[in-house]
């Protein structure tokens, strides 16, 4: 039981670090305000925003590479926690900056 508790604690800490790193990237790179007004663009984007691609590569890309080294039964829970942390950081940033998509 103790090794499982330790593994769970390590995964929580790792997830928290990924969320913090994601939040820092979004704070530094995600456009604000007018960028998101649909009226300023003629059409919807056909590829990911540069900030989103960079954030995904920096956080998720590294985790995907590292997760390949884990036992198979540990890969999915690890990736699920990190993906959740990444998306939570993104949503927290959107809410904190009061970004409106119109």
Per-residue pLDDT tens digits of the chain, which is 102 residues long: 666 777 778 888 999 999 999 999 999 999 887 777 666 566 777 888 888 899 999 999 999 999 999 899 889 999 999 999 999 999 999 999 888 876
Q: Are 55 and 82 in contact (CB under 8 A)?
A: no
Domain ranges in the chain are 2-39+51-96
- How many angstroms separate the CA atoms of 52 and 99, rounded? 15
Collapsing DSSP to helix, strand or coil, 43 comes out as coil
Looking at residue 99, what is its pLDDT?
83
Cβ neighbours around 102 below 10 Å, total? 6
Burial of 85 (0-12, 13-18, 19+ CB in 10 A): buried
Cβ neighbours around 59 below 10 Å, total? 22
Dmax over Cα atoms in the chain, in whole Å? Answer: 58
Token pair, residue 24, equals: 């820092």
């Amino acid at each position: 039981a103790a090794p499982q508790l330790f593994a769970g604690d390590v995964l929580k800490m790792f997830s928290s670090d990924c969320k913090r790193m994601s939040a820092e990237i979004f704070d530094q790179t995600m456009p604000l305000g007018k960028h998101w007004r649909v009226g300023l663009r003629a059409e919807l984007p056909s590829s990911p925003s540069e900030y989103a691609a960079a954030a995904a590569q920096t956080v998720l890309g590294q985790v995907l590479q590292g997760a390949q080294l884990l036992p198979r039964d540990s890969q999915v829970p690890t990736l699920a926690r990190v993906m959740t942390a990444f998306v939570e950081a993104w949503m927290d940033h959107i809410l904190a900056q009061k970004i409106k998509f119109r």
